[in-house]
Amino acid sequence: MLSLPAWKCPEWTLNASQVNTSSPEFIEEWQKRIRELQGVIMVASCVQMLVGFSGLIGFLMRFIGPLTIAPTISLVALPLFDSASNDAGDHWGISALTIFLIVLFSQYLKNIAVPVPVYGRKKCHTSKFYLFQVFPVLLGLGISWFLCFVFTVTNTFPSAPTAYGYLARTDTKGNVLSQAPWFRFPYPGQWGVPTISLAGVFGIIAGVISSMVESVGDYYACARLVGAPPPPKHAINRGIGIEGLGCLLAGAWGTGNGTTSYSENVGALGITRVGSRMVIVAAGCVLLLMGVFGKIGAAFATIPTPVIGGMYLVMFGVISAVGISNLQYLDMNSSRNIYVFGFSIYCGLAIPNWVNKNPDKLQTGILQLDQVIQVLLTTGMFVGGFLGFLLDNTIPGSLEERGLLAWNQIQESEDTTKASEIYSFPCGIGTKFCTSSCTLRLPFWPRRVYSETGEVGVSQLTLVSQDASGERPTRATATTM
């Protein structure tokens, strides 16, 4: 949407050295765009909430199998190889160091326990903590970031902006840290009253559709990475609806973007093996503080792009592999399945690439339709997932051949036991409180499942990491996801 001609910035604003950024004309130029983005995001978010909380997305899940999920998840990361390689290519030495550290901590040292002091029962003692298994990305990023800072202070990296390796310096965005305020409290409507345009609404709705397809793939990828059963329909309905609510709040606060599941975090989940939602709650609190205290958020902007690029290369590879791993449910000796998956993946890469290079050749004369077509066809996840969905449901094939038999058996066998515990509400909501028959009819409300003794099970998930010998030495119990 932002690449369309109507959203292009005027020529007089392009030269930063000749523009007074504090002038009323310049401020109005960018704020009017933010206001329109606010309005269209808020309208489109209502559509997403309707799709989620009404159960429509859950109804469509009965037609979605491994041949739809596999290309959708894989295409979350595969099209980003260009971005990852460009960031890593700013200094391959730093990127290689970041990759080495993440792989070292997450794969080779993950079963090594580090003694840490613990205070309990009025005395101090040591306890084993699997530091490298829990914080491999944070440790790798932090060490590389610190080395870049040392090389910047000692002027080991070149100081000329055009020289190779300059972007590995930590002071390339030094003005961001100095200009950021110490404290700023954002509030709804801070840029003015939101405006709405029909073309913008259709464009953002197309983006919301693509986002929902990606989110469904992310949900399955997360469940697979932490060893949880596939998410039931009520969890998918709730996830899509809450993402729509997040978009509504983001639009009201004027962030200029919506909220959705972040595919890079799926990759981090696969590396750290931490699936507790309390970690996400803690991360949300940290983000709230970073949003209020500007200096904290600006400090993270000084992370050099080669460090980020090295991290992307690892995480995007994990996401791609998770998508392909869904093919284990299929009969891959079937030419039908090979055709559907191969065609979906290749079109999901080729079609967005062509549309991005030839946007002028998709002009119908109707601005709203042009925006919808351009947004959908430039999203590889939508193209690949839609083709996989269409071909899998139209080309003849048995349930066993399509993988739906094994897929449904896993969901049915675990939905009434383990899945009902993992995907339930916290704090006893739905099991001890709010248990009326009216709430149970809601499409996004978890179903109550009783054990053989008649009691509702505790919402708990045990993550088990397996070492090379096949033993399972470490266990971590997490709250419901």
Question: What tens digit of pLDDT does each residue of 306-320 get?
Answer: 999 999 899 888 888
How much helix, strand and coil, in percent to the nearest 5, is found in the chain?
A: 65, 5, 30
331-378 per-position pLDDT tens digit: 888 999 999 999 999 999 999 899 888 888 888 877 778 877 887 888
Would you call 85 exposed, middle or buried from its count of C-beta atoms within 10 A (0-12, 13-18, 19+)?
middle
Please check whether residue 411 is in contact with residue 228, taking contact to mean a CB–CB distance below 8 angstroms.
no
Report pLDDT for 223: 82
Report pLDDT for 457: 45
Q: How confident is the model at residue 6 (pLDDT cuts 50, 70, 90)?
A: low
Report pLDDT for 390: 93
For residues 95 and 135, the model is more confident at 95
Report pLDDT for 69: 83
Q: How confident is the model at residue 2 (pLDDT cuts 50, 70, 90)?
A: low
Question: Radius of gyration over alpha carbons of the chain, in Å?
Answer: 24
The dihedral over CA atoms of 283, 288, 291, 295, expressed in degrees to the nearest 10, equals -70
For residues 300 and 119, the model is more confident at 300
For residues 436 and 460, the model is more confident at 436
139-162 per-position pLDDT tens digit: 999 999 999 999 999 988 988 888
For residues 112 and 224, the model is more confident at 112
69-104 per-position pLDDT tens digit: 888 888 878 888 888 899 899 899 999 999 999 999
Residue 433 reports pLDDT greater than 70: no
Buried/exposed 330-362: b ≥16 CB within 10 Å, e otherwise? bbeebebbeebbeebbebbbebbeebeeebeee
Q: How confident is the model at residue 411 (pLDDT cuts 50, 70, 90)?
A: low
Q: CA 432: distance to chain centroid? A: 32
Report pLDDT for 306: 93
Q: How confident is the model at residue 428 (pLDDT cuts 50, 70, 90)?
A: low
What average pLDDT does this structure show over 177-199? Answer: 81
Q: How confident is the model at residue 399 (pLDDT cuts 50, 70, 90)?
A: confident
Residue 454 DSSP code: S
Please check whether residue 443 is in contact with residue 54, taking contact to mean a CB–CB distance below 8 angstroms.
yes
Residue 473 reports pLDDT greater than 50: no
Q: What is the mean pLDDT of the chain?
A: 79
Report pLDDT for 111: 85
Percent over 70 (pLDDT), the chain? 81
Report pLDDT for 470: 42
Report pLDDT for 329: 82
| Alpha carbons 443 and 234: distance in angstroms, whole number | 6
What average pLDDT does this structure show over 105-112? Answer: 87
Report pLDDT for 449: 58
Residue 272 reports pLDDT greater than 90: no
Query: In Å, how far are 159, 189, 294, 301, 321 from 186, measured between CA atoms?
Result: 36, 9, 11, 19, 39
For residue 432, give both structure tokens.
């001890």
Q: How confident is the model at residue 432 (pLDDT cuts 50, 70, 90)?
A: low
Report pLDDT for 440: 72
What average pLDDT does this structure show over 431-454? Answer: 66
Other residues' Cβ atoms within 10 Å of the Cβ of residue 308: 21
Percent over 90 (pLDDT), the chain? 18
Residue 138 reports pLDDT greater than 60: yes
Residue 13 DSSP code: G
